Structure 1
C-alpha cells in the first residue's frame, strides 16, 4: 500500500475479536475451522493493537461470543478488564438465548460500562428472531446497541430476513448488522435490509469476497452514512482490508465517514 495512505484518515475498527492470551490460539483456530479460512493472526489484545497500528487504527470495537450460557459472565468481565487496560477499546459484552437469567446478563453488561451486546446466532445455535432472542432485545432496546453476526450460506440462524424481523419488532433497538448484513447472503441482504431505521452495517468479512463494484453498490444502497469499517480480527489483515476498502472508489469525505465518523455517531462518541 502507498505509505501516503497511512495517517490520511482517522480509522476505527468497528468489528474485532479478542480472547485471553492463554486460549487465543485455540479460539482463533476454532474460528478458522468453522469458516474454513486460515486465520491471519492470534486473537488477543496486544496482537490486535499491533496489527491495527500498521494502518493507523486509533480505536477498536472489541467483543467475544458466549457459545454456552455459562461463559457469559466471565467473557463480559474479561472484555471490561481489557477495556480498562486499553483506552483504545470500546467493549461489547455478550449473552446467550438459553441463559437462565438474561436480565442479570444485561445488567452486568451495563454495570461494567460496556457499550453494547454481541451475538452470533450461528455459533450460539439459535434463530436470531426466536422468542428467546426477542427477550434479549426487549431488555436491550433503548439501553444498549446490538452487534449481530449476519448470514451464512450453510445455516439459517442469522439470515437477513431474520434481521429485518428484529428491526420490525424492536424499531428503537440500534442494530449493527455485521458483514454488510449477510455473509455469503449479500443478494438477500440487499433486498430486505436497505432503508431500515436504526440499522447500520460493517464491511468486515465481505470485501474479500465481493468485487469492488459490487461492494460499493451495496454500501451505496444502504447509505454511506450507515456503514462502518471493520477487520473481523483475527480473520483478516488490517492492511489488506484497508487496501480493499480504498479500491471501492468513494470520495475522501465518504471514506472518512465509513472509516470512523459514522461509528462515532452510532455510539454517540465525542
Structure 2
C-alpha cells in the first residue's frame, strides 16, 4: 500500500474542492482485518484522494478480544503490528481490556516496546465503566510510556463526557484522544476554556477527532455552534477522522470544508495536529 506513504504529498482531488494539503485519517476500522484495506483505498481512489497515513484499529470487527481473553488480545495486537509493517503509512492502534488489570498493563507495556503509539479502549463496545479505577491505572501507565489513549466519546453512554473529563484530570500526564468530540453532546466540551483558567486543574491533555460529528453538523442549524466548540477546545487539539467504513474520508473532508474554517485551521485539523500528537515523520 505504497499509495499511503506520501510524506509531503499533496491531495489531488477531482469532484469536491478539497484543499491541496496532506491528510492523516485518525480513525479507521478494519472490520474485515487486512481485507478492509483495499476497501479503504477504493473510497480514496474513487475521489482521486491520497493520504499521508491513517490510524487503524480492530473495533467493530471479529478481532476484538473481550475481557479475560488476554492471549487472544496479544495475538490480535501482534497481527495488527505486522500488518502495519506491510502497509507503510498505517499507524497500528492496539487495544486491551482495562478489566484485565495487571495483564492489560503488561500488554500495554509490551506493545509500547514494539513501537505502538496509540491504545484504543471503548467503554461502550468493551462494556466497561470509564470511571473504574482499573481504567485510570491503565491510562496513567500509557502516559508514562508516551502512548496516546484513544477512547470513544460519541456520548452513547450516560455520563460519557463527564467521566472522560474526570479521567483526563486524574491522569494529566497522559494524552487522550476522544473520538467524535462528544457526538451531539459536543456542547459539554465548551467547559475546557474555563478549565484552563483553574490553577493546577487541567493539563491541556485532551485531543479530539471530529469523525461523525462534522458530517452531521456541516450545513445544519448547529454548524456555527459546532465550529465555536472546535475553536473553544482548541484548533491545535482537533484531528480529522473518517470512522471508515461507517463513513468515508472524502465525505468527511467535504463536510470539514463546509464549516467556514480558515485554510490555516483546516490544515492543522487535516494533518499538522496528528503529526504532532503521534510523532509522525
Which bin holds the TM-score, normalised by the shorter protein?
A: 0.7 to 0.9
| 2:215 maps to which of 196, 199, 208 | 208
Displacement, 1:132?
1.6
Give 3-state SS (helix, strand or coil) of 1:200's partner. strand
Note if contact 1:149-1:177 (Cα within 8 Å) is conserved in structure 2: yes
Q: Unaligned 5+ residue runs, structure 1?
A: 25-43
- In 2, the alpha carbon distance for the partners of 1:67 and 1:183 equals 25
Deviations 1:136-157 (A, max 9, x none): 113212311111101334x23x
Structure showing greater radius of gyration is 2
Displacement, 1:110?
1.4
Note if contact 1:16-1:233 (Cα within 8 Å) is conserved in structure 2: yes
Q: Unaligned 5+ residue runs, structure 2?
A: 1-12, 197-201
Displacement, 1:88?
1.1
Match of 1:86? 87
- In 2, the alpha carbon distance for the partners of 1:49 and 1:238 equals 10
Match of 1:119? 121
Match of 1:29? none
Q: TM-score, normalised by structure 2?
A: 0.80
Note if contact 2:30-2:56 (Cα within 8 Å) is conserved in structure 1: yes
Note if contact 1:159-1:185 (Cα within 8 Å) is conserved in structure 2: no
Q: TM-score, normalised by structure 1?
A: 0.83
- In 1, the alpha carbon distance for the partners of 2:256 and 2:58 equals 24
Alignment size in residue pairs: 247
Equivalences for residues 1-270 of structure 1 within 5 A: 3=15, 5-6=17-18, 8-21=20-33, 44-53=36-45, 54=47, 55-65=49-59, 66-69=64-67, 70=69, 71-99=72-100, 101-143=103-145, 144-153=147-156, 155-156=157-158, 159-180=160-181, 182-191=182-191, 195=196, 196=202, 197-210=204-217, 211=220, 212-270=223-281
Give 3-state SS (helix, strand or coil) of 1:56's partner. coil
Displacement, 1:4?
7.3
Note if contact 2:27-2:244 (Cα within 8 Å) is conserved in structure 1: yes
